[in-house]
């Protein structure tokens, strides 16, 4: 009797454990696969919660299927909007976790892409070339045939205020390091040798040896989406900022050319300036957005008298950040997708009507509209001097 009781207890415990394993098998498998794939426990927990809320038959699909993840996030947004909880802290915190995971997937996917050889570089690609003992030079790729052909590198001297060009013979046989930023991809660096110098299409060039050894580095830890969003820009001079205040006065009208939760590319008229603190106000997918940050770099085009500002966001409300991420990953509730589709169809209808009219009048109208936009950009956003900046600042803190 004394021997039979421990055996009975052991059997009961085994049955209980077996029952628990059967009941929670799906969750155990889900967590196990997540850990095998290198996910953190908090990420796995958020994804499991998402799979339950979306009633997924195969929760593990969230690890491998971006469409499944997008559909689930879409479901959460639609449901929370329907019951009026979309702006609550719990919903926004949960969406933030999901978007962090979505960004991680996108970045990992980007890392798998990339150049395998310099033969796949594009003609016209801008490159920076380092020649030891001589400094950094700028050049561009003109041909990618037998050798990597680049224009004769130029170095600008700040002291002399003019360009310096070394003769082709001074480059021949030299080891050089080449750096470039490939649009829509990442930055690359590689070492090679200048085989010879010469001319290509009547232009002085260097012929570099091709290589398959390229170092790739993702420049940002976020994903940016191309866009055309007009925004109001305000300069900030006060050290005390009220992040909840909405500017009702008109600011500088500018155009956002790409956007992410941590920055944007801004196009303005006139010449921009570095290290200027600014605030952006705009609307995306019917959501009002305010972003605060700093202009880190400026690309000025003298022929167009326009600048492209590299904007780094230093503060944004969580709900607004999630709205931007929804735009970046194109996670839009069905009702808003239908509205967007209807607007696009209306624009197509308008194009068809315009097409049936006189061609000359159409071209004049389009040119007039473009000129108006360009004019507004320039009139609102010229940064000619510190004095102009002071006069045109409309923010009051």
What angle (nearest 5°) sits at the alpha carbon of residue 132, between those of residues 127 and 134? 80
Q: If you write DSSP's letter for every residue of 266-286 in order, what string do you get?
A: EEEES---TT-EEEEEEEETT
pLDDT of amino acid 237: 84
Segments in the chain below pLDDT 70: 1-25, 37-38, 107-114, 158, 160, 184-185, 217-222, 331-397
158 alpha-carbon distance from chain centroid: 32
Instruction: Write the pLDDT tens digit of every residue in 169-203.
Output: 999 999 999 988 877 667 788 999 999 999 999 99
What is the model's pLDDT at position 224? 77
pLDDT for position 218: 55
Structure confidence at residue 298 (pLDDT): 86
Q: pTM of the entire structure? A: 0.52
* H-assigned helices in the chain: 4-23, 25-36, 41-53, 66-82, 89-112, 318-328, 334-355, 359-381, 386-392
Answer whether 265's CB lies under 8 Å from 310's CB: yes
DSSP 221: S
Strands 252-260, 225-235: pairing is antiparallel
Q: Report pLDDT for 362.
A: 31
The pLDDT of residue 366 is: 33
């Amino acid at each position: 009797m004394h021997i039979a009781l421990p055996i009975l207890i052991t059997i009961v415990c085994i049955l209980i454990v077996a029952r628990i394993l059967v009941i929670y098998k799906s969750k155990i498998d889900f967590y196990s696969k997540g850990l095998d794939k290198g996910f953190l426990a908090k990420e796995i927990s958020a994804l499991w919660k998402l799979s339950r809320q979306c009633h997924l038959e195969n929760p593990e699909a969230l690890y491998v299927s971006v469409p499944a993840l997008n559909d689930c996030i879409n479901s959460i947004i639609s449901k929370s909007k329907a019951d009026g909880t979309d702006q609550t802290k719990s919903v926004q915190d949960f969406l933030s976790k999901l978007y962090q995971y979505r960004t991680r997937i996108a970045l990992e996917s980007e890392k798998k892409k990339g150049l395998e050889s310099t033969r796949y570089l594009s003609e016209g690609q801008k490159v920076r070339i380092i020649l030891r003992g001589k400094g950094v030079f700028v050049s561009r790729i003109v041909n990618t045939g037998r050798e990597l052909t680049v224009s004769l590198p130029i170095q600008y001297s700040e002291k002399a205020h003019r360009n310096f060009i070394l003769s082709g013979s001074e480059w021949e046989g030299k080891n050089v390091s080449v750096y470039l930023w490939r649009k829509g991809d990442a930055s690359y660096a590689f070492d090679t040798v200048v085989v010879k110098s010469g001319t290509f299409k009547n232009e002085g060039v260097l012929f570099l040896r091709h290589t398959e050894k390229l170092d790739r580095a993702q420049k940002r830890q976020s994903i940016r989406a191309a866009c055309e969003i007009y925004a109001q820009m305000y300069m900030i001079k006060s050290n005390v900022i009220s992040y909840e205040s909405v500017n009702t006065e008109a600011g500088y009208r500018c155009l956002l050319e790409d956007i992410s939760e941590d920055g944007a590319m801004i196009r303005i008229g006139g010449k921009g300036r570095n290290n200027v603190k600014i605030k952006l106000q705009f609307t995306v997918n019917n959501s009002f957005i305010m972003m605060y940050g700093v202009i880190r770099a400026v690309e000025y085009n003298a022929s167009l008298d326009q600048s492209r500002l590299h904007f780094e966001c230093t503060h944004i409300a969580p709900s607004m950040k999630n709205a931007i991420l929804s735009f970046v990953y194109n996670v839009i509730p069905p009702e808003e997708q239908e509205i967007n589709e209807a607007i696009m169809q209306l624009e197509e209808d308008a194009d068809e009507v315009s097409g049936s009219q006189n061609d000359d009048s159409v071209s004049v109208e389009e040119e007039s509209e473009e000129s108006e936009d360009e004019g507004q950009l320039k009139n609102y956003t010229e940064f000619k001097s510190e004095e102009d900046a002071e006069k045109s600042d409309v923010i009051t803190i």
